[in-house]
Amino acid sequence: MQITMIGSGYVGLVSGACFSDFGHDVICVDKDHAKIAALKAGKIPIFEPGLDELVARNVQAGRLSFTTDLAEAAASADAIFIAVGTPSRRGDGYADLSYVHAAAAEIAEALQGFTVIVNKSTVPVGTGDDVERIIARTNPNAEFAVVSNPEFLREGAAIDDFKHPDRIVIGGSDERGMQVMREVYRPLFLGGKSPMVEMSRRGAELTKYAGNAFLATKITFINEIADLCEKVGADVRDVARGIGLDNRIGNKFLNAGPGYGGSCFPKDTIALLKTAQDFEAPQRIVEAVVAVNDHRKRAMGRKVIAAAGGDVRGKRIAILGLTFKPNTDDMRDSPSIAIIRALQDAGAEVAACDPEGVEQARAVLDGVQFVDSPWEAIEGAAAVVIVTEWDAYRALDFRRMKTLLAQPVLVDLRNIYDRATAEAAGLEYHAVGR
């Protein structure tokens, strides 16, 4: 099938590359000329394991291409996916739909023959109705159907998620449009079984937000249980395993830490709250999740200060890991930002490193000494803090760490280390919920 992907960011590029790997002909469109030029030159603008090889293979096979000309790319498409950004709008927190609306208007002018317009972007309930109205108003003669197909990709594991999905959610009421979507995803039908879940368009839009809100709730729940564990002398890892083995609960997203971040959970929980307010259906649990998570990030900075003796003014603090999770360069709403700012507000000097996120971190953090290796960050520090659980930080030499630190303090905000081993090397070990 002929697929046009509008937006060559994280979702658009990963989705487009995977669709082309299925055998579809895919054109990725973006208004950013520099980004398209880089993609044509084989340079991938984001870090995602395996994406560079996937893109190169399908470009060479002639199934994947890049352009800034939406009209030409859309004219012959069977399905046009809208995969543009929907960031939180400044001032009120609503999802900014200006890019979605602009894409819809431009698509309308290029349509030739029946085409399925697919909302891949994360959008509030009713956005599909908006897209339908915009296209019908701009081009009254257009033959089209609008469907919702939210993405459920985890950064760092996006390709595997796309090719081996738990489910594919498709929302729409036009049977022609739904049949096109079944054909688009037919390569994922194994043994006659399909992971596709069909529903109304508004149901699909809400499913994305509800799913992310529920996962954010699990994270926040175990983080608050971790705080209680510290007070009562329990180990949150034991508690998490004890409840996670209940198949009604499951063990995923029960790792206590410094709070959630990234491109989805923070903005999607807030956008859900705004939608709920508009429809007079308050989401009190999600409201509490958002508030607790915001508080927790800076509280982790205070935890570091307490571990370092209660006063970090003029002291060097080593931060290992900046991105919101490993295997990505994404700094959006990363816990490291609030933690570092709390330390700086207390007068600390921060040295930080990350395998992939330093360039992105420079854009959001001032006054930080960015270094290339953990040992360079640790030397002379009053405490070393594990903020992101990159593999590169999982087997650090504790004895070497002890000799380099000005104070032998290790704060493990991801619970990746064993207390006894750290203490045997002479380190003062602090963890979360233990």
Catalytic residues: 264
Buried b vs exposed e over 104-118: b needs ≥16 C-beta within 10 Å? bebbbebbeeebbbb
Rounded Cα gap, residues 28 and 55, in angstroms: 11
Rounded Cα gap, residues 136 and 107, in angstroms: 11
Rounded Cα gap, residues 96 and 86, in angstroms: 5
Whether the Cβ atoms of residue 331 and residue 362 lie closer than 8 Å to each other: no
Hey, is 135 helix, strand or coil?
Answer: helix
Task: Measure CA 176 to chain center.
Answer: 32
Rounded Cα gap, residues 417 and 389, in angstroms: 10
Residue 3 backbone dihedrals phi, psi, to 5 degrees? -120, 135
Distances (CA, A) of 299 to 167, 260, 265: 36, 13, 19
Inter-helix orientation angle 236-244/201-232, to 10° = 140
| Of 257, 337, 339, 348, the residue nearest 298 (C-alpha) | 339
Instruction: Answer positive or negative: Cα dihedral of 339, 345, 346, 347.
Output: positive
Distances (CA, A) of 173 to 120, 132, 145, 177, 199: 17, 12, 9, 8, 8
The beta-carbon contacts of 153-158 under 8 Å, at least 24 apart in sequence, are 153/10, 153/11, 153/14, 153/15, 155/10, 155/48, 155/262, 155/263, 155/325, 155/327, 155/328, 155/330, 156/48, 156/49, 156/325, 156/326, 156/327, 156/328, 157/49, 157/327, 158/10, 158/14, 158/48, 158/51
Rounded Cα gap, residues 404 and 5, in angstroms: 50
